[in-house]
Amino acid sequence: MVALGRMCFQPVDLLSGEHIDLLHDDTFASLRRLCASGLVGAAAAAPPCSAFSRARLRPGGPPPIRTISHPRGKDCLSPNQATELATSSLIHIRCRELLALVAARGGLIWLENPTSSLLWLDSQVMAWCRTHTPFASAVAACAHSVPAHKSWTFMCNHESISSVASTCAHPLGFHPALSGKRSSDGIFLTRQTAQYPGSLASLLASVASPFVDEGQAGHSVRAWTSLLPTAACWPPPSGRVEDGAGLCSSATPFPPTQSDVLGGLRKAWCKRLLDSGLHQQIASRLLSGSKTNPLSEAELAPFLADLRDFLHVESESTWQSLLSVLDGQPFRLNLWHCLSLLCSDPDSDYFHVLREGVPLGIGSAIPVCPVMHPPAAPDAVRLPLEHCESAWKSALDNADVVESLLKGEVDAGWIREVPGGDAELRRLYQYTAVGKLGLVLAPGRPPRLVVDSSVSGVTSNTHLPNRSANPSLMDVRRSVPISDSLDQLVALVLDVAKAHRRMLIRPADRGLLCFRHAGRLYQCITLNFGARVSSFFWARCAGLLMRLLKRLLRVRHSSWIYVDDILAFFNRLSAPLWASVVVVLLLCLKIPMSWHKGTLSPSVVWIGWQMDFECFTVRLDPSKLSRLIALANQVLNSRSCPVRDLERLTGKLLWLSSLFRCFRPSLAPLYADQHSYTPVLTAVSPEKWQALCDNVDSHLVLLRSVGIAAIPVGSKLLRVGQTTLTCRRDLCRVTPEQRRLWVQSSCPSRSVCQLSDSSCQVIRMWLDLAASGSDVRSLILPPRLECTAFADACADASSVGMGGFVRLHDGRQLFFQTQLAKPQMLRLFQWLPSDCSLQSYIATWELASQAALLFLLHRLLGDGHLPCHTVFRSDNSAAESASWKGLSMALGLCSVLRVFFALQESLRISVHVDHVPGISNDIADGLSRGHACRSDRSQKEVRSPRTALQRLFEEVSSSAVLLLSERREL
């Protein structure tokens, strides 16, 4: 690297360079942070192979600890061997983790071991390779003047590793075998070939160099943090970031635009915390897992006194009124209202509603919230209010659990028995409804009650005046600093306990959320989990709370609330202080918190994501991940699975794909399979067709299996080719002359669905990601690159034209232009039906031309460019919305979408496709129609535009992120 004038770090090795031990936990933690920092452009790992050596399988050497059938380690090992195995595994796992972190920031990585190493038989290692390093090269030692029967394998995340590949042309036995042989001083001969020959080293350096900055400096790994900026670099403000606290609030309220009305209170509380050292106590209690308040009433009293001073309350009765709490709910509503008024909060009037009890919107409209999104459309059908007679099976089957939970709710004052039953209910209330009680049993969570109010008609009669919005993982990623710095972050996570239960229902509406258990009728006094209004009314409380917290904090920080889960992050040094200010406010307002779930740490779990602010990484919460793996294996185990299981799995994967976005388009087959019993079209051979005819009853329902997976027993035949089938007689009208017949059928039982090959492949791909052990992404988003990029496509029945251009700020630009006739299109796109009109797939060609823009931009930026985010323009709204959603069920669009997303991943360019009116897209339109590019003679055309498209589809088969068409094995 030095010879190429590129910067590099000292190797991390016990033998050369700095004496650094990867097995040392603190060293490893520091290396993780380095690799995740974005400072490493290329990283290569060649972890020791001795424990994986095949030579040890022969007699004479040290006994093997791994074998071909047990590459992850033999079963019965001596204590010494077990230690050797554990050490070797740990070094390898750590190496792969470090490489994955470098790759997550757009760096080049490769993993090397001898080709014969048992490492390549380890299923976890192969899962890791399939996920992270799909490009492999083997290098023959003989090609580098080492006369030995030996070769190295390099697994890399970039195709340029192919430039090092070489083979040995000599016959087997030509080179002396080294394995198992020792030199005169007793050292294994293979040891001597552990070092790369000079010619190979220079080849490898030239692969890495495009990814590494120029410079002569060789940096020390021990002192790497000196390369970091001292202060955190926050992203430039770019519009509002959803924080769950209404349209007038944003996740990172900095620089503050509002007056500092709570400044006096903040100063008083900070001084008190620092003087007393209580902030340290609160910080440590938050980590203790204790359910008790982090401050006792006595410890809190002086803070309340500060608050009284700040508010200038002299009269004791006024103060007592501010501290008072209404029956049936816990908040100090008067005090909270007073602080909100002081901040001129736009939703301050909501406190009147909270005091009177919230309306359920039946018979009268729910008051509008001024800072929430406009409402969704009301339900098309309004069901009449009803008194349901029973409960759901989940509640009936677990009567004892339900009984004890109900007792707790009665004791808490949230529900009440109606002793006089339905008659009393109808006598007391104008509107009444009785829903069905259910019990939610989820692994890893305590059981909880839910009242289904959709069956009682309450839900459809409730029209909410606003839509609430919750923050997503993307909103967090948009608010973290753009790079690591010496000034680190710490996150605060807090959770409001039983949030919905804290809001009283107004007395007139208490006949509406009712349910039965064991012959008794109950009514809800407070809102419950399951009512449509609950999330709306809680969202208004959450908004008021978050906006007040932000006004009070005012320092540089970011904060969100997702329903009742609060996340905030602060600079490390002052985090205990600011977390304590939050805690003190919550205690003063008497907001009931699940203190035992609170955390103040650089590593937290929030709404199912595990975030690490030391390395700025995020992954799925490990407990969620293991449940996901179990479900995926369960679904995969039998090809026909309950629709509910597949729906659950698809939902979980959809959630996970908000992190691994490039995988999202591949969920399409899972969605398709959920509806595999709504009419399906199957190609059937004439022989099978005869078998079908012989085995259907008079209603065309299949009685016995004929070995067609898509037409199982119970299916009804609907149509063959153009012939609609109504009875058995219609079968005679079908002439089975063609090579295959297209049979449409459906199966009435939708409870079980058939898993397609594509779905199985998709599920295995996710399992690979989970098994790789490196299922992490960086929280840090790539910076925005400004460029001008337009593409367009046009098509008629038999040909397609595509064109587009990319122009950078410095004036460099490229365009492409291509006309493809139907035979070429059929060769490129194998899903394309041969009898189709190409015009009917215009959105697909529009999206394909957007994908071609990726190649142009990548070429302009150069091979080793840093990851970036940019905006392309399209005038086709179907292509634009598919790229935005990442999912399409349309034939063609879903296939090209996968390529488009895979390319973004492998070229390290993330794209947002923006819509432009056709009239503004005239240059790209002209290119796609084959016009010469007169207006811009300076534009350079990409050598052969068709290679761009062809490469597009080569990428599908070779790309790391898809692995759908072929699963490569070594």
**Amino acid at position 106, single letter:** G
Given the complex with Zn ion, which of 145 and 430 has the nearer CB atom? Answer: 145
Radius of gyration from C-alpha coordinates of the chain:
33
Cβ at position 52, least distance to Zn ion in Å = 23
* CB of residue 238 to Zn ion, shortest distance in Å: 58
Query: Hey, which residues between 68 and 97 contact Zn ion (CB under 5 A)?
Result: none
From residue 897 to residue 916, the character string flagging contacts with Zn ion as x (rule: CB under 5 A) and all else as - is --------------------
Asked if omega into 255 is within 30° of 0 (cis), the reply is yes
Q: How far is the CB of 203 from Zn ion (least distance, A)?
A: 17
Rank residues 153 and 453 by Cβ distance to Zn ion and give the closer one.
153
148 Ramachandran zone, left/alpha/beta (phi>0; psi -120 to 50): beta
Neighbours of 291 (CB within 10 A): 11
Specify the stretch interacting with Zn ion by CB under 5 A; choose among 166-174, 226-234, 302-310, 530-538. Answer: 166-174
Q: Which residue is nearest to Zn ion (CB)?
A: 142
Is 178 a binding residue for Zn ion by CB under 5 A? The answer is no
Which among 134, 128, 198, 158 has a CA at the least distance from the CA of 42? 158
Helices (H) and strands (E) counted in the chain, each on its own, are 29, 31
Q: Is 699 exposed, middle or buried (0-12, 13-18, 19+ CB in 10 A)?
A: exposed
Tell me: does residue 170 bind Zn ion (CB under 5 A). yes
Verify binding: residue 706, Zn ion, rule CB under 5 A: no
The answer to whether residue 148 forms part of the interface with Zn ion (CB under 5 A) is no
- Residue 453 neighbours by CB under 8 Å, 6+ apart: 433, 435, 459, 512, 513, 530, 531, 532
Choose between 34 and 168: whose C-beta lies nearer to Zn ion: 168
Evaluate whether 668 touches 650 at the Cβ level (below 8 Å).
Answer: no
Q: How far is the CB of 179 from Zn ion (least distance, A)?
A: 16
Q: Which of residues 921-940 bind Zn ion (CB under 5 A)?
A: none
Q: Nearer to Zn ion by C-beta: 144 or 416?
A: 144
We find the least distance from the C-beta atom of residue 196 to Zn ion, in angstroms, to be: 17
Nearer to Zn ion, 144 or 784 (CB): 144
Distance CA 620, CA 628 (A): 10
Residue closer to Zn ion (CB basis): 170 or 393: 170
Q: Which window, 137-145, 357-365, 367-375, 770-778, contacts Zn ion (CB under 5 A)? A: 137-145
Candidate residues 125, 142, 155, 667; the one interacting with Zn ion per rule CB under 5 A: 142
The H or E element that residue 803 is part of is strand 799-808
Residue among 175 and 728 whose Cβ is closer to Zn ion = 175
Using DSSP's 3-state secondary structure scheme, residue 571 falls into strand
The DSSP bridge pattern shows strands 752-754 and 640-642 to be antiparallel
Question: Which range in 167-175, 229-237, 508-516, 684-692 contacts Zn ion by CB under 5 A?
Answer: 167-175
The one-letter code for the residue type at 611 is M
Answer yes or no whether residue 168 interacts with Zn ion by CB under 5 A: yes
Would you say 143 or 836 has its CB closer to Zn ion? 143
The region of 35-43, 142-150, 367-375, 805-813 touching Zn ion under the rule CB under 5 A is 142-150
Stretch near Zn ion under the rule CB under 5 A, chosen from 57-65, 138-146, 156-164, 774-782: 138-146
Q: Which CB sits closer to Zn ion, 70 or 144?
A: 144
Phi/psi for 90 (5° steps) reads: -65, -45
Number of shown-chain residues binding Zn ion (CB under 5 A): 3
Least separation in angstroms between residue 189's CB and Zn ion is 16
Please choose, from the candidates 900, 820, 818, the residue with its C-alpha nearest in 3D space to the C-alpha of residue 855: 900
- Of 140-148, 301-309, 490-498, 887-895: span binding Zn ion (CB under 5 A): 140-148
DSSP-derived letter for residue 19 is B
In the complex, the smallest distance separating the C-beta of residue 164 from Zn ion, rounded to whole angstroms, is 16
- Minimum distance, C-beta of residue 171 to Zn ion, in the bound complex (Å): 9
For Zn ion, which stretch binds (CB under 5 A), given 135-143, 299-307, 586-594, 921-929?
A: 135-143
State how far the alpha carbon of 962 is from the alpha carbons of 132, 763, 884, 891, 898, in Å.
11, 12, 19, 18, 8
3 state DSSP class of 558: strand
Distance CA 624, CA 409 (A): 29
Of the candidate spans 134-142, 267-275, 367-375, 429-437, the one that interacts with Zn ion by CB under 5 A turns out to be 134-142
| Between 200 and 480, CB nearer to Zn ion | 200
Distance, C-alpha 237 to centroid of its chain: 24
The SS3 call for residue 611 is strand
User: What 3-state class would DSSP assign to 908?
Assistant: coil
Shortest spacing between CB 667 and Zn ion, in angstroms: 47
Q: Which region, judged by CB under 5 A, interacts with Zn ion, from 36-44, 141-149, 201-209, 961-969?
A: 141-149
- DSSP summary character for residue 41: S
| Contact status, residue 38 vs residue 44, Cβ threshold 8 Å | no
**Of residues 64 and 114, the one with the C-beta less far from Zn ion:** 114
Residues 299-338 close enough to bind Zn ion by CB under 5 A: none
Question: At its nearest, how many Å lie between Zn ion and the CB of residue 668?
Answer: 48
Using the minimum distance from each CB to Zn ion, give the nearer residue, 147 or 263.
147
CA pair distance 847, 872, nearest whole angstrom:
11
Decide if 242 contacts 470 (C-beta within 8 A). Answer: yes
Question: Looking at beta carbons only, is 51 or 142 nearer to Zn ion?
Answer: 142
**Cα-to-chain-centroid distance, residue 600:** 23
Residue in 826, 813, 799 with CA at minimum distance from that of residue 853 = 813
Which H/E stretch holds residue 405? helix 399-412
What gap in Å lies between CA 510 and CA 523, rounded to an integer? 7
> Rounded to the nearest whole angstrom, what is the least distance from the CB of residue 843 to Zn ion in the complex?
53
For Zn ion, which is the closer residue by CB, 144 or 590? Answer: 144
Nearer to Zn ion, 141 or 490 (CB): 141
CB of 190 to Zn ion, least distance (A): 16
620 CB burial (10 A radius; 0-12, 13-18, 19+): buried
User: Cα(93)–Cα(73) distance, rounded to whole angstroms?
Assistant: 14
Q: Minimum CB separation from Zn ion for residue 155, in Å?
A: 23
- In the complex, minimum distance from the CB of residue 948 to Zn ion, in angstroms, rounded to a whole number: 38
The nearer residue to Zn ion, 175 or 219, going by C-beta atoms, is: 175
User: Tokens 């009728």 belong to which residue?
Assistant: 521
**Alpha helix (H) ranges present in 657-742?**
668-674, 686-694
Work out the number of other CB atoms within 10 angstroms of the CB of residue 396. Answer: 16
Q: At what angle do helices 316-323 and 297-311 cross, to 10 degrees?
A: 120
CB of 81 to Zn ion, least distance (A): 35
Instruction: Supply the minimum distance, in Å, between the C-beta of residue 170 and Zn ion.
Output: 4
Nearer to Zn ion, 123 or 145 (CB): 145
Q: Shortest approach of Zn ion to residue 178 CB, angstroms?
A: 13
Q: Name the H helices within 433-531.
A: 458-461, 473-477
Q: Which residues of the chain form contacts with Zn ion (CB under 5 A)?
A: 142, 168, 170
